Each structure stands twice: as C-alpha cells, then as structure tokens.
Amino acid sequence: MSNHPSSKPAQLRKPALFEIDDTTITVTDQQKEITDTHQKSDLSTSTPTVIPSQASSKLFSLSFLLISSILGIIVLWLTSKLISSFEQILERSDILGWSFFILLIIALTSTLLLIAKEIMGIWGIKKLRNLRSSGQQAYTENKLKPARHYLKQIKSLYETTPERAWMLDRIKTLDTEIMDGQEIIELIDKELGVSLDKQAKIIIAAHARKISLITAIAPGPFIDMAAVAILNLRMIRKITQTYGVRPGFWGQMRLSRNVLAHLALSGGISITSDLLQPLIGSSIASKLSKKLGEGLFNGAITIRIGLSTIEVTRPIPYVSTKPPSFKKLVTSALKPN
C-alpha cells in the first residue's frame, strides 16, 4: 500500500445523539467536503435535460424554400411563355392573328354574360321570395297602398312574358274597382296564382310519370339514379321559369338546396308504403314487382320535390286558395289506368 497521505483511510466517528437546535455543534471542513462530493454525485446520476435540436426544423425550412422557389420559377416561366405566345399571335396580321383575336373576344364576352346570367338568376330567386313576403305582409296589414304596390310588382314580373300577360287582363280590369288591400291580394291569388299552379302541376305530373317509368325499366341502379337526379333538376328549373325566373347553374343549385331543406323541414321525405296503398290497392300491391314499387316511390318523391319547389318559388301567398294537394296529385299522376 502506498504511503501517500491521500491513501490513508478516513477516521470514522462513533454515532452520537444531538439536538437540531444545538448551537455547539460545528461542521468540519472534511465533513463539508464529503457532503459536497455526495451532492455532485447525485447531480451526475440525475436525468440530463435534453435540448431539442434545431437541425430538423432548419432542414425542413430549407427544403420548403427550395421546393417553393422551384415551383415559382416553373409557374413564372410558363406564364411568360404563354404571354409571349399570345403577344406573338396578336402581333400577326394574317388570318391566324385575327382569328385568335376574335375568339378571345368571344370567350371574354361569353364569360361576362354567363356571370351576369348567374347573378340575375340568383337575384330573381331572391326576388320571388321577397315578393311572397311583401304580399303576405300587405294582406295582413290590409292597407290599400302596400297592396297596390305589390300588384305593380307582380305586373312588372309577368308583363314581359306573352304566355302570362293574358293572366293579368282580368286583374287590370278589376283592380281599379277594389278599395280593400286584402281583396287585391285575394284577386291576385285567384286569377294569377291558380293559373300558375295549374301549369306547375302539369310539369310535376309529367316528370313524376317519367321518373316512375324509367325506374321501373332501368337495367341498373346507377342509371335510374342519374335519371332521377337529372329529371328532378329539370323539373325544378321549369317550375321556377313558370313563376317568372330563369335560374342559372349556381342559382339552380342554390334553389335545389333550399327545396331540399324545405322538404326536410316539412317532413316530406318520410313517405311510407301506407301512403301508396290507396293509390294502387292492396291486392295489386302484393303482385307488383320490386322495380315497379321503386318507380312509384320515386315518382311520389318527385311530386314532393315539385310541391316544395312551388312553396319556395311562388311569389303569391296562399290567402284565398290552398296549396296543391299531394294525395290528389299522386292519384292523378301515378294511378294506373
């Protein structure tokens, strides 16, 4: 064993009892050194704090910048090529340059006209709803001035269409003799609203029969689903035109959403087989094939959609007449002869 002083074993003291508040107890430098050594060893064995590295985030940022810059260069290059090609064609004085110029003017004009048509269609559908609200309000208030203003709006809506202008003749001859606001609204409902409803019911019945027939003879489910969707959209469009508005594509999509919302709120989707029993009879129903039953069901759904379209697009409130009856329309449209 080495005789180096540091190699000597430490002298251990005997255990002793003492009070914590005893001020006579002193701590030697050797004891402080032992305590500090134990504290350092505890710190060295504790879990080290991991500092997240920023290398991955920097790599991601650099990759993102690289990809974005490359895509930007490609887009700018293609744009410059396209613009330069347009300029070269427009600078040509031959038939190719003039043809390109004329086609470009036609394309821009068509785009503007389509946008204007869509805006007018959406505005027209909103106008129909506002007219119905104002008519109902004029009837409730029973004031002559609002009723005559509503009559003027109805005339401006239908005077431009020759097939509906004749419906206003009787109103024109009688509105000067009426001095009551409710009577004016009732006259509009009787003379004009009923005639428009008849045209709309004819459209609904025709489309319901077509859908019922197509569903019954269609070879696959996808064909009849496509036919039902197309014919229902066409029916909604024709009914809207009957009441004075030609909706565009987006206007018709918005109108279809409103019709389906109205259908769901009114409970029209919940059509059961009990509703079709009076139509076809229990003895006949037991002999019907599955496809024919689906055809009748789809036809009934089409009638529901058509009646909801009338409720959404009819600009005249029902004050003296009643809405078209679903049961009567189903019976007249789908009952086998």
Q: Rounded to two decimals, what is the model's pTM? A: 0.63
Residue of 158, 160, 131 lying closest to 147 (CA atoms): 131
Q: What are phi and psi of 199, to 5 degrees?
A: -65, -40
* Structural tokens at position 211: 């859908």
8-32: buried (b, 16+ CB within 10 Å) or exposed (e) per residue?
eeeeeeeeeeeeeeeeeeeeeeeee
Asked whether residue 179 is domain-assigned, the answer is yes
Tell me the C-alpha distance between 334 and 299, whole Å: 7
Total count of domains within the chain: 1
Tell me the C-alpha distance between 119 and 114, whole Å: 9
Tokens 């613009």 belong to 83
Helix or strand run (H / E) with residue 140: helix 95-141
Asked whether residue 309 is domain-assigned, the answer is yes
Asked whether residue 292 is domain-assigned, the answer is yes
Q: What's the domain range around 327?
A: 124-334
Asked whether residue 33 is domain-assigned, the answer is no
In the chain, the N- to C-terminal Cα span, in Å, equals 124
Per residue in 142-198, pLDDT tens?
888 888 889 888 888 887 766 666 667 767 666 666 678 888 899 889 888 888 999
Per residue in 269-291, pLDDT tens?
444 444 555 555 544 444 456 66
Tell me the C-alpha distance between 62 and 174, whole Å: 80
Per residue in 221-261, pLDDT tens?
677 788 888 888 899 889 988 888 888 777 777 777 777 77
Asked whether residue 170 is domain-assigned, the answer is yes
Do 299 and 211 meet the contact criterion of CB atoms below 8 Å apart?
yes
Per residue in 58-105, pLDDT tens?
556 777 788 888 898 999 888 888 888 777 777 777 787 788 788 888
- pLDDT tier at 268 (50, 70, 90 boundaries)? very low
Residue 311 CB coordination number (10 Å): 18
| CA dist 33 → 18, 23, 28 (Å) | 21, 21, 9
Asked whether residue 276 is domain-assigned, the answer is yes
Asked whether residue 5 is domain-assigned, the answer is no
Asked whether residue 18 is domain-assigned, the answer is no
Count Cα neighbours of 174 within 13 Å in the Cβ-side half-sphere. 16
More confident residue, 136 or 94: 136
Predicted local confidence at residue 152, as pLDDT = 87
The answer, yes or no, to whether residue 203 has pLDDT greater than 90, is yes
